[in-house]
A = this chain, B = another copy of it.
């Protein structure tokens, strides 16, 4: 009996025979590691994932055996091989490689961090980021997620959705105030997204985090569909909203144009 057959029976015994629970659990084990927890004991992994120690041990030993993780016998850590998982996706985005040098120019010009993100459900996910030495925030790197409704990139990505898809997001999205400035109502959110659609950019002033301001523009393919959002973020003490409109925006719009023009037909 192969594992596949066994799983099929196990699944059948459970809810859904097409659901490979052990794969999902294994992925949870990989995701349990982070910059805050780069090395964990078996118990910590079990605790972090809600797995039994026995199950966590099986997954960890499998990851070690396959080169995805390493252990000194007590502590476990991930190995560079896991990069081959996430990058199968990244490398499949032509926009990613094309955007890098353009984003570097933006950072050189504005001396502020520049990021590229795509929509994933109600979140935006960073697919590229060029930080400045000054505002180095370990908290935000490729793969980071932020709620779309209160981020500048999220607003332009929502504005780029077909009405039907946008309606689905609106039905689902839960507005939670992250700062006193976060949009408080669906009406206000819809207005902000409409505004982003009309003007072709979005500026978010401390709705995500106090002190944080960002301005974003859409990156479109040849058919005019929004593929991603490009933004520059700054600290309210460093750049006025006016400066972001007059100095950041033209640079961002130009960068988005250059990326779009370089995209494969």
Interface residues of A (CB under 8 A from B): 1-4, 6-11, 13-14, 17-27, 30-35, 37-38, 52, 54-55, 57-59, 61-63, 65-68, 77-94, 96-98, 100-102, 104, 107-108, 118, 120-121, 125-127, 130-133, 136, 138, 141-145
Question: Which of B6, B10, B18, B30 is the one whose CB lies under 8 Å from A85?
Answer: B30
How far is B87's CA from A44's CA once the two chains are assembled, in angstroms? 19
Question: Which of B18, B32, B83 is the one whose CB lies under 8 Å from A127?
Answer: B83
> Cβ of A22 and Cβ of B7 under 8 Å apart?
yes
> Cβ of B143 and Cβ of A83 under 8 Å apart?
yes
Chain B residue with Cβ nearest A29: B23
How far is B132's CA from A108's CA once the two chains are assembled, in angstroms? 13
> Cβ of A10 and Cβ of B14 under 8 Å apart?
no
> Cβ of A97 and Cβ of B138 under 8 Å apart?
yes
Q: What is the total number of copies of this protein in its complex?
A: 2
Which 3 A-B pairs have CB atoms at the shortest separation, nearest pair first? A86-B86, A38-B92, A83-B143
How far is B38's CA from A23's CA once the two chains are assembled, in angstroms? 21
> Cβ of B92 and Cβ of A33 under 8 Å apart?
yes
Chain B residue with Cβ nearest A132: B101
Question: Which of B4, B6, B37, B83 is the one whose CB lies under 8 Å from A142?
Answer: B83
Contacts of A23 in B (CB 8 A): 22-23, 25-26, 59, 62-63
Chain B residue with Cβ nearest A4: B55
21 contacts between A and B (CB under 8 A): A3-B7, A4-B22, A7-B10, A7-B22, A18-B57, A27-B66, A31-B84, A33-B88, A38-B93, A79-B89, A80-B143, A86-B143, A87-B142, A87-B143, A90-B142, A94-B138, A96-B141, A98-B136, A101-B131, A101-B136, A102-B133
Contacts of A30 in B (CB 8 A): 85, 88
Contacts of A9 in B (CB 8 A): 6
> Cβ of A35 and Cβ of B3 under 8 Å apart?
no
Q: How far is the CB of A81 from chain B (nearest CB, A)?
A: 6
How far is B33's CA from A86's CA once the two chains are assembled, in angstroms? 10
Q: How far is the CB of A145 from chain B (nearest CB, A)?
A: 8
> Cβ of A89 and Cβ of B100 under 8 Å apart?
no
> Cβ of B97 and Cβ of A89 under 8 Å apart?
no
New A-B pairs, 16, CB < 8 Å, besides A19-B65, A67-B121: A17-B58, A20-B26, A20-B59, A20-B62, A22-B23, A23-B25, A26-B26, A31-B84, A34-B91, A35-B94, A37-B92, A38-B92, A83-B90, A87-B141, A90-B142, A100-B131
